[in-house]
Amino acid sequence: MTARIIPVSSKQDMEDFIQFPFSIYEGDPHWVPPVIPHLRSFLDPKTGPFYEVGQVQLFLAKDGDKVVGRISAHLNFAYEKHHDTDTGFFGFFECIDDQDTANALFQTAADWVKARGKTKLHGPLSFGIYDEVGLCIQGYGERPVMFHTYNPPYYEKLVENWGFRKSFDWFGYIIDKLPMPLEELIKRRDDIMAAAGLTITQGKTSEFIKRGPEVLEMFNTLWDKNWGHVPLTERQFNDIFVQLKPVLRPELVSFIEENGEILAFSVVAPDINHTLHKTGGKLNWLGMLRLLYDCRIAPLKASRAIIIGVKKSHQWRKLHYALIMNIMITLNRWKSAGVWCDCSLIPESLVKWNKTLQMFGGRKWRTFRLYDREI
């Protein structure tokens, strides 16, 4: 097939870009459609938080009038301040199973970033390291968790056949049972907190959100040495956490304080994909009611540990162990519903964190791969 590649330059092009995945995943029982209004806002330069720190061009692949692929090419100026100025990015890759079409999309993205002085193409990132990241190369046969990428298995072939090579892997772990009797787990958590002379506070979602700037600063400091880290802006942080606030269960938002200073925190969110899968991504008033019921009232079945953080000056106190055990103890109240928790994304470079999750019964169930190619 010889597809022509065109830049997204009109409202209709943007709608084609947004709607194209529906043809790729038609009949796929695991795919979760995006929430279209949110995706429109995310991609709109006037409202999308990424555009504060980046430059983007979206492209469509067409066979006649039929859309057969899409891709973004983008620059990330925050990345350039933190890492290097040689790297450009691609993301939002979707394509029919045709190597020529995929090659044309990748080459177009490469040409766009190369024209802006870049010598390497990296991705998929849609758009940043804390958005949807990587190509799913393990875990195809199950519904994706919120904020995870999802793709057909043949995408791996399309990417690697163009000459991309592995850059880095991120892992998702699932915990669906206690690693020890509940009483022992409670005792171990309490022993850690007693030794530290601290307590875990739960149920103050509004307080956590109100102290967002403090949490954001702590997050950016903690993750500073992680592979690929780019500091989140306040707008990017709010896009994640403020939008999650209506669906958070207060008992799954925890923090540890000392003299009014947050030392550690964790946020576990009900997996909204559990509902979006049933509503086909639609969040009209009925869909919103169903989402709020599933997330806030119904027995919890699926969740994702969004973030766990402990200040570097206090990590020797094993507060991260206490937070993990506290999450498991809290989730255990819904064990009759078969509740499980996805813990992700964990970079392969954090060997200790990977071992810690395995120690607590986590099993690796998804791998998301990032690729590079010199251009």
- Mean pLDDT of all residues in 141-164: 95
Identify the pLDDT of residue 107: 98
**CATH label of the domain that carries residue 89:** 3.40.630.30
When pLDDT is cut at 50, 70 and 90, the band that residue 217 belongs to is: confident
pLDDT greater than 80 at residue 204: no
What's at 355, amino acid-wise?
Answer: K
- Mean pLDDT of all residues in 359-363: 94
Which stretch of 106-115, 158-167, 205-214, 320-329 has the lowest confidence by average pLDDT?
205-214
When pLDDT is cut at 50, 70 and 90, the band that residue 238 belongs to is: confident
Identify the pLDDT of residue 294: 93
Identify the pLDDT of residue 1: 66
Query: Residue written as tokens 């065109």?
Result: 6
The more confidently predicted of residues 167 and 212 is: 167
pLDDT greater than 90 at residue 154: yes
Of the three residues 171, 201, 234, the one that is the final residue of a domain is 171
302-310 and 340-347 strand pairing: parallel
Residues 278 and 251 in one domain: yes
Tokens standing for residue 329 = 């103890």
Of the three residues 171, 191, 219, the one that is the final residue of a domain is 171
Identify the pLDDT of residue 55: 97
- Mean pLDDT of all residues in 104-132: 96
Within a domain: 233: yes
pLDDT greater than 90 at residue 221: no
Residues 133 and 38 in one domain: yes
Within a domain: 300: yes
Identify the pLDDT of residue 357: 94
Residues 193 and 208 in one domain: yes
Residues 80 and 99 in one domain: yes
What digits encode the pLDDT tens for the residues 288-302? 899 999 999 999 999
Residues 221 and 313 in one domain: yes
The rounded percent of the chain whose pLDDT value lies above 70 is 99
What digits encode the pLDDT tens for the residues 7-19? 999 999 999 999 9
Q: Check: CB of residue 133 under 8 Å from CB of residue 148.
A: no
User: Number of folded domains in the chain?
Assistant: 2
**Residue 235, domain extent:** 177-338
pLDDT greater than 70 at residue 354: yes
- Mean pLDDT of all residues in 94-109: 97
Name residues whose C-beta falls within 8 Å of residue 60's C-beta, 6 or more positions apart in sequence.
5, 6, 7, 8, 13, 16, 17, 20, 67, 69, 70
Looking at every residue in the chain, the average pLDDT score rounds to: 93
Residues 195 and 311 in one domain: yes
Of the three residues 171, 190, 210, the one that is the final residue of a domain is 171
Within a domain: 250: yes
Residues 149 and 240 in one domain: no
Tokens standing for residue 51 = 């555009």
pLDDT greater than 90 at residue 240: no
Residues 8 and 157 in one domain: yes
Within a domain: 357: no
Residues 295 and 321 in one domain: yes
Written in H, E and C, the secondary structure of the chain is: CCCEEEECCCHHHHHHHHHCHHHHCCCCCCCCCCCHHHHHHHHCCCCCHHHHCEEEEEEEEEECCEEEEEEEEEEEHHHHHHCCCCEEEEEEEEECCCHHHHHHHHHHHHHHHHCCCCCEEEECEECCCCCEECEEEECCCCCCCCCCCCCCCHHHHHHHHCCCEEEEEEEEEEECCCCCCHHHHHHHHHHHHHHHCCCEEECCHHHHHHCHHHHHHHHHHHCCCCCCCCCCCHHHHHHHHHHHHHHCCHHHEEEEEECCEEEEEEEEEECCHHHHHHHCCCCCHHHHHHHHHHHHCCCCCEEEEEEEEECHHHHHHCHHHHHHHHHHHHHHHHHHHCCEEEEEEEECCCHHHHHHHHHCCCEEEEEEEEEEEEC
Residues 155 and 51 in one domain: yes
- Mean pLDDT of all residues in 238-242: 75
Residues 167 and 183 in one domain: no
Within a domain: 107: yes
**CATH label of the domain that carries residue 322:** 3.40.630
Within a domain: 129: yes
C-alpha separations of 295 from 250, 289, 328, 353 in Å:
11, 10, 17, 28
pLDDT greater than 90 at residue 79: yes
Residues 26 and 80 in one domain: yes
Within a domain: 271: yes
What digits encode the pLDDT tens for the residues 300-332? 999 999 989 899 888 888 999 999 999 999 999
